[in-house]
Amino acid sequence: MSALERLEEHRSFDGVQYKYRHYSKVVDCPMTFSLFLPDKEKFPEPPLLWWLSGLTCTDDNFTHKAGAQKAASRLGIAMIMPDTSPRGEDIADSEDYDLGQGAGFYVNATEEPWASHYRMYDYILEELTELVRSEFDLTGPEFISGHSMGGHGALVLGLKNPNRFKSITAFAPIVNPSQVPWGVKAFTNYLGEHKEAWAQWDALELLKQHSGKQLPILIDQGDADPFFNKELKPKLFMEAAEEMDYPVTLRMQEGHDHSYYTISTFIEEHLTFHMSFLSK
């Protein structure tokens, strides 16, 4: 396999939507990602939005369903959408939708059989970053966003790297995975039984321990989301932010659920939110 293989190319508004495959040394398997680039003549040095998707998703879900290309084209934002886990016949997996392939949780696993491949944090933060900077010259400001499990990932990567990202947004994020069924299951398998090791991958714990640079955060949560009370609990995050005087905005969206219908409704506002902090 070549270092970078182009799988798809589609004209979209004034930009181009791509899909690529490459071999990742970090997760030790082929990985795909999608990339939107706005018009190069209008925006020769665009900022880059990292989008992290949720359970069962691939890089295609946001690309196909969110409808973000129109606003990104107008605002001059490049967008990269990684896959949600390593994949392949030789990669550890589970019959459960919320563990294994499609459910990497954006952590570096320490427990076998997961530790050999499930290192999505390092893959995104280091390897894929180096690739998009070198191959596409995307070296400008960066934002990070995500949905559900990907909202958890966006909060964790953003809070752990405040000097890299300008802002964070999330749709229906898992804010306290150490205390909810999705997160407990994933963390027990990927990180082991010792819960003190979980805190570095828990957005609520990272927020409570945070000192130094603060990133503006926007969270949209539908009040008709079936996972709201059991798995997501964004109000816990908001309460901690208020205690710390950390700039978090939580918007409860009436009648909205956990689907991409909600994401497509508000994604332009998220992109505009990110862009508003470029000059600050």
What are the residue numbers of the active site? 148, 225, 258
φ/ψ region of 194 (left if φ > 0, alpha if ψ in -120 to 50, else beta) reads beta
The answer for residues whose C-beta is within 8 angstroms of residue 57's C-beta and 6 or more apart is 84, 102, 147, 150
Q: Could you count the other beta carbons within 10 Å of the beta carbon of residue 115? A: 15
Coil, helix or strand at residue 242: helix
Q: Can you tell me the distance from the alpha carbon of 258 to that of 100, in angstroms, rounded to the nearest whole number?
A: 21
SS (H, E, C) 195-211: HHHCHHHCHHHHHHHCC
Q: How far is CA 238 from the centre of its chain?
A: 19
Report the side by side order of strands in the sheet with 15-24: 5-12, 15-24, 29-37, 78-82, 48-52, 142-147, 165-171, 217-222, 248-253
Q: Where are the alpha helices (DSSP H) in 161-233?
A: 181-191, 203-209
Q: By the 8 A CB rule, do 251 and 221 touch?
A: yes
C-beta neighbour count of 200 within 10 angstroms: 15
Structure tokens at 229: 């009370």
